[in-house]
Amino acid sequence: MTDKQRQMIADYLPHPRDPELAFGEYYVKDTADRVRKARITTILPGELFEDNTYLVREVSTGKRIDAGYGDDWHGFTKAKLYDNKQDCKDETHYFYSEWEELRKIQEAEDGQTDAG
């Protein structure tokens, strides 16, 4: 892990992944700033220089969670999906969509540290 990656992990991923999340589940903030556990249901491809967006439904109710655009065809960017509740509350990587790559690096490093 590089020093830059280590700093980005400290800034963007201060808390570990929530082990209760299943594959495709994330935490998101709804338009009322409530943190809700959601499942990705649709991936909408981005245009040139734009990220894909994700339509999500709340895990407990199955209702679609509005990303705040007032439009069924605008979802959450990857930067607005979180793998733990506290980071979602704190919006730690609100503008950084590549955070999952950092999480993989972090977890691989932690695995090496535990084994060493």
Q: What does the DSSP assignment read for 2-53?
A: -HHHHHHHHHH--SPPPTTPPTTEEEEE-TTS-EEEEEEEEEEPP-TT---E
Domain that holds residue 80: 3-107
Domain count along the chain: 1
The answer to whether residue 64 is domain-embedded is: yes
pLDDT by 10s per residue, the chain, length 116: 899 999 999 999 999 999 999 999 999 999 899 999 999 999 988 776 678 899 999 999 999 998 888 777 788 999 999 999 999 999 999 999 999 999 999 999 877 544 44
The answer to whether residue 112 is domain-embedded is: no
The answer to whether residue 114 is domain-embedded is: no
Q: Write down the pTM of the prediction.
A: 0.86
The answer to whether residue 92 is domain-embedded is: yes
The answer to whether residue 116 is domain-embedded is: no
The answer to whether residue 89 is domain-embedded is: yes
The answer to whether residue 82 is domain-embedded is: yes
